[in-house]
C-alpha cells in the first residue's frame, strides 16, 4: 500500500513529490561537491607553498564573484526557467572542476588558477541560490515549503561541514587535492544530469508588454525589486536587521573564535574543529525541528526573536575557559539561528509574489552579504583593542537589542496577524489535485492567481 503525502512525517512530506526528490538529489550533490572543494583548495594552496595571503586571494575571488553576480542572478531567476539556470550553473562548475583536476594532477596548477575558478564559482552561486529559492514554490504545495527549507538547512551543514570535508580528506590521503577536484567535477556533473531530467516549469510572471533592450530590462527589474523591498515594511525591516546582525556576529565567529579556543581553553586545531562542528550539528537539528512543525502563527516575531536570542550564547564564549561550555553555546546558537533561517526562507516564498521572488531572494543574499567583509575586517582590530572576551560579550548582547528594537519600531506583530500563513492557504480542489494559492493575499497584492500544483497535471 503506497504512502500518501499526508501520512508522511511533516519534515518528509516534500519527498512525496517526484520533482522535489530530483531537486533534492541535485542539491545533495552540489553541497557535497562544495564541501570537498573547501578543503581540497586549502590543501592545494599549502602544497604549492602558498601563504595565508595566497589563500585569502583565492577565498576573496569567490566572495567578489558572488557579490557581482547575485543581483543579476535574481533578475535571471524571474525571467528564465529556473531549471535552465540551475542546470547551466552545475555544468559550468563541473567543467571548471574538471579543468582544475587536470591542472592539479599534471602538476601545472598555480594559485592564480584557483583564484579564477573561485571567482567563477562565486558567480555560479550568485545565480544558483535565487533560482533555487524561486523554483521551490513552483514544485511544492505551500504548506510543504517550510519542510523543504528545513531539509536544506539539514543538508547544508551536514554535507558542507562534515561529509564533504571528510571525503576531501580521504581523497588527499589517497592521492592529492587533485583527486578532490575530480570528485567535485563528478558530483557537479551528476547534479547537472539530475536537473536535466526534471520538467521545465514556466516562469511565474507575465511577459513584458513591450520588449526593451536587455540592459534596460535588467535595470528595470533590479529597480523594481529594490522598490518592492523599500515599500514592504516587514521585508525591509528584516533585511536591515539581518545586515546589522551579520556585522555583529560574523567577525567574531569567523576570525576570533579560533583565538578564543586557543587562548582561553588551551585547545588546538582539533578543539576548534569540534567547536565548529557543534555549530553545524546544532544548525542541522534546528532546521530539522522547524521542518517538523507547522509554520508558527507569530512567524515574524519568533523568527526575529530566535535570531537575537540565538546569538546570546556567544557571550558565554567570552566568559569561559571551558571548551565544553563553548561547544554547548555554539550548539545552542546553531539550533536557534538555523531554525529561524528556515522560517525566513519559507516566509519569502509564501509572501513575496512569484514574479518578484528571484530578485527579492538575491537582494536578501546581497544585503546579508554586504557587511560580512566589514565584520571580518574589523573583528581583528576590535578584538585587540577591547579584548576577545569583551568582543564576544558584545556579539551576544547586541543581537538581542537589535531584535527588540526591530520588533518595536517596525511593528511586525500586527503585520503577521494581518497576513496569516497557515496550512489553510492550501485547499483541496477537484480530481486534478491540490490548488496552491499564491502569496498575493499574504503580500497584500492580488497577483498571482491560484496555480495548479505541477505534480497534479496528468
Q: How confident is the model at residue 206 (pLDDT cuts 50, 70, 90)?
A: low
CA gap 235, 247 in Å, rounded: 18
CA gap 211, 214 in Å, rounded: 9
What pTM value is reported for the model? Answer: 0.68
- Tell whether the model's pLDDT for residue 438 goes beyond 50: no
pLDDT tens-place string over residues 106-122 = 989 998 899 899 889 98
- Tell whether the model's pLDDT for residue 283 goes beyond 80: yes
**Phi and psi at residue 421, to the nearest 5°:** -125, 75
Q: What is the mean pLDDT of the chain?
A: 79
Return the pLDDT at 284: 83
430: left (phi over 0), alpha (psi -120 to 50) or beta: beta
- Tell whether the model's pLDDT for residue 57 goes beyond 60: yes
**Phi and psi at residue 244, to the nearest 5°:** -70, -35
Residue that the C-alpha cell 512567524 belongs to:
299
Return the pLDDT at 215: 62
pLDDT tens-place string over residues 293-349 = 787 888 899 999 999 999 999 999 988 888 899 999 999 998 998 888 888 888 887
pLDDT tens-place string over residues 20-47 = 999 999 999 999 998 888 778 877 887 8
Tell which wins on pLDDT, 99 or 165: 99
CA gap 225, 239 in Å, rounded: 13
- For the record, the C-alpha cell of 346 comes out as 519559507
Say what percent of the chain tops pLDDT 70: 83
CA gap 41, 282 in Å, rounded: 26
Which of 198-202, 210-214, 450-454 shows the lowest mean pLDDT across its residues? 450-454
- Tell whether the model's pLDDT for residue 444 goes beyond 50: no
CA gap 114, 100 in Å, rounded: 8
Residue that the C-alpha cell 525541528 belongs to:
289
Amino acid at each position: 500500500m503506497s504512502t500518501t503525502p499526508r501520512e508522511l512525517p511533516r519534515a518528509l512530506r516534500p519527498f512525496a513529490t517526484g520533482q522535489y526528490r530530483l531537486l533534492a538529489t541535485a542539491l545533495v550533490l552540489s553541497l557535497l561537491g562544495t564541501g570537498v572543494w573547501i578543503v581540497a583548495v586549502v590543501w592545494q594552496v599549502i602544497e604549492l607553498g602558498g601563504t595565508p595571503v595566497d589563500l585569502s586571494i583565492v577565498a576573496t575571488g569567490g566572495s567578489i564573484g558572488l557579490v557581482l553576480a547575485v543581483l543579476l542572478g535574481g533578475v535571471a531567476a524571474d525571467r528564465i526557467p529556473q531549471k535552465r539556470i540551475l542546470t547551466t550553473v552545475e555544468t559550468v562548475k563541473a567543467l571548471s572542476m574538471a579543468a582544475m583536476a587536470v591542472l592539479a594532477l599534471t602538476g601545472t596548477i598555480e594559485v592564480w588558477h584557483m583564484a579564477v575558478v573561485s571567482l567563477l564559482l562565486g558567480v555560479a552561486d550568485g545565480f544558483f541560490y535565487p533560482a533555487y529559492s524561486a523554483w521551490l514554490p513552483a514544485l511544492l504545495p505551500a504548506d510543504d515549503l517550510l519542510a523543504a527549507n528545513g531539509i536544506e538547512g539539514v543538508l547544508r551543514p551536514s554535507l558542507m561541514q562534515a561529509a564533504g570535508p571528510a571525503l576531501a580528506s580521504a581523497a588527499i590521503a589517497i592521492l592529492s587535492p587533485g583527486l578532490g577536484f575530480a570528485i567535485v567535477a563528478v558530483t557537479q556533473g551528476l547534479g547537472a544530469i539530475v536537473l536535466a531530467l526534471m520538467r521545465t516549469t514556466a516562469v511565474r510572471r507575465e511577459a513584458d508588454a513591450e520588449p526593451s533592450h536587455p540592459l534596460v530590462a535588467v535595470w528595470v527589474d533590479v529597480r523594481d525589486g529594490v522598490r518592492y523591498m523599500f515599500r514592504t515594511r516587514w521585508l525591509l525591516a528584516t533585511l536591515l536587521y539581518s545586515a546589522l546582525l551579520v556585522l555583529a556576529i560574523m567577525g567574531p565567529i569567523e576570525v576570533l573564535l579560533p583565538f578564543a579556543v586557543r587562548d582561553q581553553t588551551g585547545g588546538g586545531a582539533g578543539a576548534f574543529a569540534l567547536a565548529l562542528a557543534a555549530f553545524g550539528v546544532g544548525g542541522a537539528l534546528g532546521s530539522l525541528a522547524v521542518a517538523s512543525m507547522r509554520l508558527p502563527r507569530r512567524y515574524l516575531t519568533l523568527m526575529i526573536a530566535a535570531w537575537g536570542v540565538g546569538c546570546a550564547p556567544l557571550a558565554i564564549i567570552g566568559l569561559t575557559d571551558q571548551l565544553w561550555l563553548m561547544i554547548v553555546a555554539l550548539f545552542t546558537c546553531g539550533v536557534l539561528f538555523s531554525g529561524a533561517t528556515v522560517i525566513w526562507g519559507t516566509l519569502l516564498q509564501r509572501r513575496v509574489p512569484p514574479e518578484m521572488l528571484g530578485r527579492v531572494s538575491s537582494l536578501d543574499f546581497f544585503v546579508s552579504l554586504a557587511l560580512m567583509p566589514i565584520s571580518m575586517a574589523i573583528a581583528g582590530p576590535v578584538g585587540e583593542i577591547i579584548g576577545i572576551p569583551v568582543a564576544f560579550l558584545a556579539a551576544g548582547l547586541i543581537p538581542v537589542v537589535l531584535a527588540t528594537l526591530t520588533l518595536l519600531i517596525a511593528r511586525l506583530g500586527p503585520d503577521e496577524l494581518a497576513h496569516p500563513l497557515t496550512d489553510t492557504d492550501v485547499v483541496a480542489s477537484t480530481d486534478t489535485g491540490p490548488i496552491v494559492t499564491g502569496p498575493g493575499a499574504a503580500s497584500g497584492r492580488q497577483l498571482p492567481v491560484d496555480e495548479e500544483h505541477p505534480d497534479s497535471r496528468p
